[in-house]
Structure 1
């Protein structure tokens, strides 16, 4: 999408959707004009050019790419918010240092510009804040754009508004895919359940995209996949474990938002599991330095004990990182006096990572049980901060910390969906290994210190993040080390056997190790956008995605097409 068109959309047709989304009532429409809706034996059905399951960043990017290329789309989302880790999971974007100018698709950067413009148009900013070229609402240290989940939601709805109005996009919120009609190497239809009404919807299309957070379509469609950690013997990776474990997945997190009102008491009721989490010492190798609910943790790079600071007024905590500033999404100093009573910060910290149970490839009851325990951990961490955290003045606890359910759009104050770091991964035509993207492993392969990752002839995108694996269900402590600016190979997006289902989230052909740098916001968006364009190109040429991959001339033409629409395939020299 051209930048001018994006900004016009945001300023005109998208305004209704944006304001509606911010008010807490997402803009939902069922576009029957093009979608050929039918009732089949009491079961409502939709058909389109592509069915996209999962409304996270990959799913939204895939939808935008297909829509701008003239296709029709049905997009399903399990919660009532699209936007995935940026909205429903409450995680400000984890990005690299070049994000403002390159290293992501133009559409992603325009989306980020739309978030800044939304603040400029709708919030009472100070003159100094208005004058900042790269305005950061929260001035959080994790990102150059720490912002509220609802603003990202508003901008996404603004982008989709005209397609919904024209009947090109059917957006089915609170719908979960529960079954698939498959024969051989093709998916014919999916069945989605309306989580509000209990009705089932039949969804048919030539192509299907799995943009769910856990790769939910893979087992339903019989698409071959792997989970957990591969052994060093399987992958040859420098940081892979000696013994593989398919149930060894990274921690997930129940995020929440809070502000701080000095002199007031907002202490929550003591959580049911507080006694457990208050005493809990993680059992992992190498060892955790003490209680999980504490300001000491394992340094991700060295695994030595490291102290973190905490001061909810943003004040310096010496040489230690002040956790309050890390994922702060509102810095009240950026807004006219009186707009905010205090800063607002997102809590996605080492202390509320949950690794006592696996949520990949488990039944719904087990999933819900672990999510409930993860919420208890997060609430226990909040309670500890309110009542026991050490203060610079010698006292303990910050009772003025206030849980902000309104920021997350929930009644319990916790994010609508857990922040998932690892999912099922397809068995792909090509698997990205540590030797391709890991700095140390790549140097062993090439014999010299490389500047960037392996060059893939089939690149359909680029990205960068260090390899960052959080403590895992298998008892591993952090695995955190340097990677190189990398490409996204088309072969990693193609299942070995299935022909019309494609991944668009954390379910591409990576390993447990390399997932650690391919799982963040701009890369997920880039994967989804490339997949959307691959569907459009394949349908237009009447060929399969595998043929695009296997025929050099066709692949080059496809790469030229995606570059013409703002997708970078190579890092600048």
Structure 2
């Protein structure tokens, strides 16, 4: 058995491993199948978090806040996931300003607003707004630029990096795992920049990846795609299960508009294909994908849309320009910005021709590249052919904002993936627990007023059940849900003792994933997971015992409430 030193890498660099001083940790010994890799460095912490997205960051913050040493890996060079590398402004519920998420999430939101007020030339009127919305957008009360979220999250983590409590490995991907019985022993991470390998060990491992990548690597039982109605009794579940029936993913992008300029570039390679595509959906899509109309998610009837990049009203139709606008120039001193900046995460660039979950890396890359072609084609169509209110076609002054997304092609660094592998959990959240119509069907009219009450609640959240068109041709599935709780049982695999999900990979179904997949809920899940690891280590118990023990559960819930988590809706 070879004896090696563990190394802690500290600091916060822009690319590669977080930069800074190297400090030695006392040598330890262990034997794993990775021992043959003599060039791999070994890193040890109390918890290893794979994935630096929203759930990963919140899990890290709550664990660090409680004194744990943490290693977190991230495939891209930006932490933050949906908020940053995927270019998706927050999707939130109507009560988010006051309740319905952990205190730490509201602290993050306040920090975003304060960042604009401290660093941007905001007008006095904007500075006076307690609830400044940088983009004055429709989809969220806090539509803002990805780089601002990145700066805020880096600031929140910076003290722990400087102290050596957090080892942040950006541009690193988990490539394999060592496990035995019900426990994960180690993960192998590879630098995507240098090819160097690291062996990561810890008492606990958190899967905060976007696709639940650790689940197959560690032998953890999981499900994918749609369950059958016979399996789940869900009102909106299909008659037949299909693991390959997954929601569309989207490659987002940012753009602005400079009147009087011509920014039209070369036609994308697949432009003619996407320009003429009529999606094959059931029920039918109302026409071509590249069009200012789409299927109304609730009725599936054709719904016209508007588009005007100067923010001019397109009533009675929704102006897509302001829908996910992340910077409204009117919030800032005159002349500070030439125009608004808007992000595109629309029905028109939802990719349904293949999946990113459960496929080879080659197939993953193939579909991401085609998803990029779809988004570039949509942008080119907006520049050249989109119908205008004045009867003309196209807005030649549109520009891809490569700087906003931090990429050479102007597209997000990583696709926005709505659906992941999901653990087979100690408790699975079904439509009858959170779906209004299904609750009425199962338990009567009164049940349709509130979601199921979970004795083991570790957080709360809300979003309507929103399933985008799928890879098997399902059109939108969109219907009312109820403000819900996050049960601890949904965070616990049926068997594995020290692997915990912290993203879209918890114990939901294809249907209930539709309301548990949004930004504040993912943050809430990660927060609960970090606290669960902290508590389990302190009490020298495994998470399953926390749920099974009445006194332990009550004490754990009291512990997390004191740290700003809400267990029930007011």
CA separation of 1:259 and 1:27: change in aligned 2, threshold 3 A: farther
Q: Which residue does the alignment assign to 1:560? A: 558
Deviation track 1:507-565 (CA, whole Å, cap 9, x = no partner) reads 00000000000000000000000000000000000000000010111000000000000
SS of the residue corresponding to residue 379 of structure 2 reads: helix
Are residue 200 (structure 1) and residue 190 (structure 2) matched?
Answer: no
The answer for the alignment partner of 2:483 in structure 1 is 485
Matched, 1:59 2:52: no
Distance 1:109 1:527 in 2: 15
User: Pairwise mapping of residues 311-390 of structure 1 onto structure 2 (< 5 A)?
Assistant: 311-390=308-387
Matches within 5 A, 1:273-292: 273-292=270-289
- Residues 79-136 of structure 1: CA deviation (Å, up to 9, x unaligned): 0000000100000000000000000000000000000011010000001101111000
Q: 2:115 maps to what in 1?
A: 118
1:142-173 Cα shifts (integer Å, max 9, x gaps): 00000000000001000111101111000000
- The CA distance in 2 between the partners of 1:301 and 1:163, in whole Å, is 45
Matches within 5 A, 1:33-432: 33=23, 41-432=38-429
The answer to whether the Cα contact below 8 Å between 1:229 and 1:246 also exists between their aligned partners in 2 is yes
Are the equivalent residues in 2 in contact too, given 1:466–1:480 (CA < 8 A)?
A: yes
Normalised by the size of structure 1, how large is the TM-score?
A: 0.95
CA 1:439–1:537 in 2, change beyond 3 Å: closer, same or farther? same
Residue aligning to 1:28: 18
Contact 1:73 1:170 in 2 (8 A): yes
The size of the alignment, in residue pairs, is: 552
The Cα of 1:451 is off from its aligned counterpart by 2.7
Q: Following TM superposition, by how much is the alpha carbon of 1:273 offset from its aligned partner in structure 2, in angstroms?
A: 0.2
Instruction: Give the aligned partner of residue 517 of structure 2.
Output: 519
Q: TM-score, normalised by structure 2?
A: 0.95
Deviations 1:486-515 (A, max 9, x none): 000000000001000000000000000000
Instruction: Report the more deviating stretch, 25-34 or 107-116.
Output: 25-34
Counterpart Cα distance in 2 of 1:522 and 1:27 = 28
1:392 and 1:343 map into 2 onto residues whose CA distance is: 19
SS at match of 1:179: strand
* 1:465 and 2:463 aligned: yes
Alpha-carbon distance change, 35 to 261 in structure 1, aligned in 2, over 3 angstroms: farther
CA distance in structure 2 between the aligned counterparts of 1:241 and 1:348, rounded to whole angstroms: 27
Write the distance in 2 (CA, Å) between the matches of 1:203 and 1:308: 49
Contact 2:93–2:462 (8 Å) recurs in 1 = yes
How far 1:452 moved relative to its partner?
2.1
Could you say if the C-alpha distance between residues 349 and 374 of structure 1 is closer, same or farther in structure 2, counting changes exceeding 3 Å? same
Cα separation, 1, equivalents of 2:496 and 2:130: 46
Given that 1:257 and 1:408 are in contact with CA atoms closer than 8 Å, whether structure 2 keeps it comes out as: yes
* 1:534 aligned residue: 532
Deviations along 1:151-200, one digit per CA (max 9) or x if unpaired, are 00001000111101111000000000000011011000000011000011
Query: CA–CA distance in 1 between the matches of 2:487 and 2:260?
Result: 54
The answer as to whether partners of 1:30 and 1:167 remain within 8 angstroms in 2 is no
| Structure 1 residue 243 displacement after superposition | 1.2
Give the C-alpha shift of residue 37 in structure 1: 7.7
Deviation at 1:445, TM superposition (A): 1.9
User: Any conservation in 1 of the 2:17–2:171 contact (CA below 8 Å)?
Assistant: no
Q: Distance in 2 between matches of 1:194 and 1:487?
A: 38
Q: Distance in 2 between matches of 1:209 and 1:35?
A: 22
| Alpha-carbon distance between aligned partners in 2 of 1:110 and 1:35, rounded to the nearest angstrom | 33
Contact 1:31–1:169 (8 Å) recurs in 2: no
Residues 34/51 of structure 1: CA separation in 2 closer, same or farther (3 Å cut): farther
Q: Is the 8 A contact 2:16 2:171 kept in 1?
A: no
Q: Secondary structure at the match of 1:284?
A: coil
Contact 1:35 / 1:170 at 8 angstroms: preserved in 2? no
Aligned to 1:456: 454
Q: Which 5+ residue runs of structure 2 have no aligned equivalent? A: 1-10, 29-34
Residues 26 and 130 of structure 1, relative CA distance in 2, 3 Å threshold: farther
Question: How far does residue 296 in structure 1 lie from its aligned partner after superposition?
Answer: 1.4
Question: How far apart, CA to CA, are the structure 2 residues paired with 1:535 and 1:293?
Answer: 47
- Secondary structure at the counterpart of residue 205 of structure 2: strand
With 463-472 and 29-38 compared, the bigger mean Cα shift is at 29-38
Q: Which residue of 2 aligns with 1:8?
A: none
Question: Structure 1: where are the runs of 5+ without partners?
Answer: 1-16
Aligned to 1:444: 441
Change (3 A) 1:367 1:72: same
Distance in 2 between the 1:471 and 1:291 partners? 14
**Is the 1:140–1:146 contact (alpha carbons within 8 Å) kept by the matching residues of 2?**
yes
Q: Offset of 1:210 from its aligned partner?
A: 0.1
Structure 2 residue matching 1:292: 3-state secondary structure: coil
C-alpha contact 1:108 1:522 (8 A) present in aligned 2: yes
Contact kept, 8 Å, 1:257 with 1:413, in 2: the verdict is yes
SS of equivalent to 1:411: coil
Give, in angstroms, the shift of residue 25 of structure 1.
Answer: 5.9
Question: How many angstroms does 1:32 deviate by?
Answer: 5.2
- Quote the offset at 1:28 in angstroms: 2.1
Superposition deviation, residue 443 in structure 1: 1.2
